[in-house]
């Protein structure tokens, strides 16, 4: 069965994104010093690599693989395991995860949206265990490989 065609073209999240901390809201712990995110989006797959620099200067690298066609994927996250399903809601990608950590369980629903000019990626938690957390990212200038 085919998914009905969307009246709006789906965005391509590919790029290197830098979090604009002054425009973002963080709910767990102190805000990070920096977040860089590299996304490779080739429908129906998304690969995401996040380099998180804590206020203390320590770095954490997180890697996620998603399937936008609704299949469940599994990713290791900070000593735990996340089961994830994604779906399109118009032009927003909803990434819903159930994270099992040694000391807690989290239900996460991350709404990704891209600005009309393709230069701002907003990742917002609205109705989950991090409701109210928003990370506003701006596309980083292209750098030679």
- CATH for 15-139? 2.40.128.20
* Residue-wise pLDDT tens digits, 37-94: 999 999 999 999 999 999 999 999 999 999 988 889 999 887 889 999 999 999 999 9
Separation of alpha carbons 46 and 43, rounded Å: 7
Q: Region 107-127: what's the mean pLDDT?
A: 97
Q: What's residue 2's pLDDT?
A: 46
Residue carrying the six token digits 């990742």 = 123
Query: Where do runs of H (alpha helix) occur along 74-116?
Result: none
Q: Which residues of 109-130 are buried (b: 16+ CB within 10 A; e: fewer)?
A: bbbbbbeeeeebbbbbbeebeb
- Residue 97, pLDDT > 50, answer yes
Q: What is the pLDDT of residue 145?
A: 46
Q: Who contacts 134 (Cβ-Cβ below 8 Å, separation ≥6)?
A: 24, 25, 122, 123, 124, 125
Bridge partners, residue 123, by sequence = 112, 135
Q: pLDDT of 6-51, one tens digit each?
A: 566 899 999 999 999 999 999 988 899 999 999 999 999 999 999 9
């Amino acid at each position: 069965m085919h998914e009905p065609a969307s009246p709006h073209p789906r965005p391509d999240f590919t790029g290197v994104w830098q979090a604009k901390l002054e425009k973002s809201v963080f709910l767990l712990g102190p805000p990070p010093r920096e977040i860089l995110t590299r996304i490779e989006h080739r429908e129906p797959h998304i690969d995401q690599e996040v380099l998180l620099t804590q206020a203390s200067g320590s770095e954490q690298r997180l890697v996620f693989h998603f399937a936008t066609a609704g299949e469940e994927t599994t990713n290791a996250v900070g000593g735990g395991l996340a089961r994830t399903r994604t779906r399109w809601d118009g032009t927003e990608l909803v990434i819903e995860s159930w994270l099992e950590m040694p000391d807690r369980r989290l239900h996460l629903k991350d709404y990704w949206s891209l600005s009309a000019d393709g230069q701002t990626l907003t990742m917002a938690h609205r109705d989950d265990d991090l409701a109210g957390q928003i990370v506003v990212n701006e596309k980083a200038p292209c750098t030679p490989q």
